[in-house]
Amino acid sequence: MLHRTKTLSENISKLNLSQHFLRQHCRTKSTRRFNNAKDEDEDYHRVRRKTENQEAQIYLLKSRGQHLLMNPRVLNSIVQKSNILPTDTVLEIGPGTGNLTLKLLEVAEKVFCQDALRTEFPKFDLMVANIPYGISSPLVAKLVFGKNSYRGGTLLLQKEFARRLLANPGDSEFNRLAVNVRLVADVEFVMNVSKKDFLPCPKVDSSVVKIHPKAEIPEVDYEEWCAFTRTCFTKKNKTLGAIFKQKRMLLELMKLQEIKGDEVNNTIYSDYHVNDTEDEDGLSNEDNANFSSDVGMDLNLFREKVIDILRSGGFEDKRPSKLSHEELLNLLSLFNRARLHFHGQVKPTNRKDAELASAFGPL
Ligand SMILES: C[S@@+](CC[C@H](N)C(=O)[O-])C[C@H]1O[C@@H](n2cnc3c(N)ncnc32)[C@H](O)[C@@H]1O
């Protein structure tokens, strides 16, 4: 943790001393573990840096997202747009060589720098970070669904990922990431950042976005919500009727109800060893037909129940990628009221309990 009241040189020396990230994530000449020269050529970028009285060499690993933001104008804008108060504790993920860290220390009370995924976040007011793009999904999930209450986040992200976060229902980029994040947070575009502003230059462009937690969050179990959106967005442009007629989907859903020990439904979920005739998309060849195997009766009954639920809310012909949160929440509540659940263990609604990084999956 770095503190504003320390002198700049104290903080710089602390940064130098505590650059465990550099030791962990950047391999120096003496410690690097990879000996294969071919791999090295592809994987790292060598930077010479002059410190007070010595020249250091840093090896930046592209595979760890070690692209340093070098443009001071962009660094200043990120800090300025973050609206940091002098009393704020800022959490920075991936400080690298401290380019952003030192600017944050000019305005914040404290700056924490730590691993994004392996440890719990400390208490913080704002997250401000130029993150390794490979961990964008789990990091954003941990921020918005995590235990900490926070005032906001300013994140430098891969441009395509940022566009998905910003997408609205009906936009081509609108997907499960957007629908999950935007349930609990608003996302604001700040600016685009050219790949030329980084060292080494990445292949992709970047954008800065701000994430604001919503003041009013819908009463919903987050694990159930994420399991539901995972189901709905498997084929986001198909109609819900077509999605919920897929045999694999129906079988999984049936199995889940049985695992949950739903006494009402147990009779029809008892036996469903069906010969699998699915095509490579995971879509059943019998999607629109009646199921004719031994368990055809059970599966047909279950399918009718699911389709009845969709019809009761007028959802059968609607596409998930065009539905608002209100409509999706309404559909989930129709399913749940009919004692049909998407997640194995439905817990009481509690934001603090949500451990949802994995629920976002690859996005
Ligand atoms: C894009 S660089 C940003 C460096 C610096 N903040 C800047 O703006 O110049 C991302 C940094 O995150 C580090 N990193 C990689 N995986 C991480 C993780 N799981 N948690 C925290 N930092 C990580 C990388 O080693 C790298 O230093």
HSE-up of 339 (CA within 13 Å, CB side)?
Answer: 12
Q: What is the pLDDT of residue 291?
A: 55
- In ligand 1, the atom with minimum distance to the C-alpha of 92 is 6
* Whether the Cβ atoms of residue 144 and residue 211 lie closer than 8 Å to each other: yes
| Nearest protein Cα to ligand 1, atom 9 | 68
pLDDT tens-digit readout, 162-196: 999 999 999 999 999 999 999 999 999 999 999 99
Residue 65 confidence (pLDDT): 85
**pLDDT tens digits, 191-204:** 999 999 999 999 99
Q: Which residue has the higher pLDDT, 140 or 255?
A: 140
Burial class (CB in 10 A: 0-12, 13-18, 19+), 313: middle
- pLDDT > 90: what percent of the chain? 60
Ligand 1, CB within 6 Å, residue ranges: 21, 25, 64-69, 93-96, 99-100, 115-117, 130, 132, 135
Nearest protein CA to atom 15 of ligand 1, as residue: 64
| Phi-psi region at 110: left, alpha or beta (left = phi > 0; alpha = psi -120 to 50) | beta
Mean pLDDT across 251-258: 88
Q: Looking at ligand 1, which residue's alpha carbon is closest to its atom 24?
A: 66
With a cut of 90, say whether residue 69 has pLDDT above it. Answer: yes
Residue 187 confidence (pLDDT):
98
pLDDT greater at residue 311 or residue 37: 311
- Residue 264 CB contacts under 8 Å (≥ 6 apart), including other chains: 339
Cβ atoms 187, 181 nearer than 8 A:
yes
Residue 280 has pLDDT above 70, yes or no: no
Taking the CA of residue 192 as centre, how many other CA atoms within 13 Å lie in the half-sphere pointing to its CB? Answer: 8
* Nearest ligand 1 atom, CA 132: 10
Point out the least confidently predicted range of 146-155, 206-215, 340-349. 340-349
Atom in ligand 1 nearest the alpha carbon of residue 135: 19
Pick the closest to residue 59 from 14, 29, 102, 35 (CA basis): 29
The pLDDT value given to residue 30: 37
Tokens of 342: 């998407």
CA angle, 63 then 66 then 70, to 5°: 150
What percentage of the chain reaches a pLDDT higher than 70?
70
In the predicted structure, residue 64 carries a pLDDT above the cut 70? yes
> How many angstroms separate the alpha carbon of residue 65 from the centre of ligand 1?
6
Best mutation site among 28, 63, 68, 155 for ligand 1 pocket (most ligand atoms within 8 Å of CB): 68
Q: Give the mutation target among 130, 142, 193, 201 for probing the ligand 1 site: most ligand atoms within 8 A of CB.
A: 130
Alpha carbon nearest to ligand 1 atom 6, residue:
95
Average pLDDT of the segment spanning 54-76: 86
What is the CA angle 165-171-174, rounded to 5? 40
Q: How far is the CA of 96 from the centre of ligand 1 (A)?
A: 5
Name the more confident of 10 and 156: 156
Rounded to an integer, the average pLDDT of 45-49 is 68
CA nearest 152: which of 78, 239, 58, 247?
A: 78
Can you point out the beta strands (E) in the chain? Answer: 2-3, 44-50, 55-61, 68-69, 89-93, 110-114, 126-130, 152-158, 185-193, 198-199, 206-213
Q: Whose CA is nearest to atom 8 of ligand 1?
A: 69
Burial class (CB in 10 A: 0-12, 13-18, 19+), 56: middle
| C-alpha 214 – ligand 1 centre gap (Å) | 27
Closest residue by CA, ligand 1 atom 13:
94
Per-residue confidence (pLDDT) for residue 14, from 0 to 100: 54
Atom of ligand 1 nearest to the CA of 64: 15
Mean pLDDT, rounded, for 310-325 = 97
Average pLDDT over residues 307-336: 97
Residue 96 CA: nearest ligand 1 atom is 27
**pLDDT value at 139 more than 90:** yes
Q: CA quadruple 118, 122, 127, 130: dihedral positive or negative? A: negative
Closest of 273, 326, 311 to residue 295, by C-alpha:
273
Q: Which atom of ligand 1 is nearest to the CA of 69?
A: 9
83 pLDDT above the threshold of 80: yes
pLDDT band per the 50, 70, 90 thresholds, residue 356: very low
- Return phi, psi of residue 169, to 5°: -50, 135
Which protein residue's CA is at the shortest distance from atom 12 of ligand 1? 94
Q: Using the predicted structure, report yes or no on whether residue 16 has a pLDDT greater than 60.
A: no
Better pLDDT: 350 or 127: 127
Both tokens assigned to 293: 């195997």
For the cut 90, the answer to whether the pLDDT of residue 105 exceeds it is yes
Q: Determine the 3-state secondary structure of 112 from DSSP.
A: strand
End-to-end CA separation in angstroms for the chain: 32
What number does the ligand 1 atom closest to the CA of 68 have? 9
Query: Residue 62: pLDDT band by 50, 70, 90 thresholds?
Result: confident
Residue 21 has pLDDT above 50, yes or no: no
User: Of 37-51, 119-133, 228-242, 347-361, which gets the smallest average pLDDT?
Assistant: 347-361
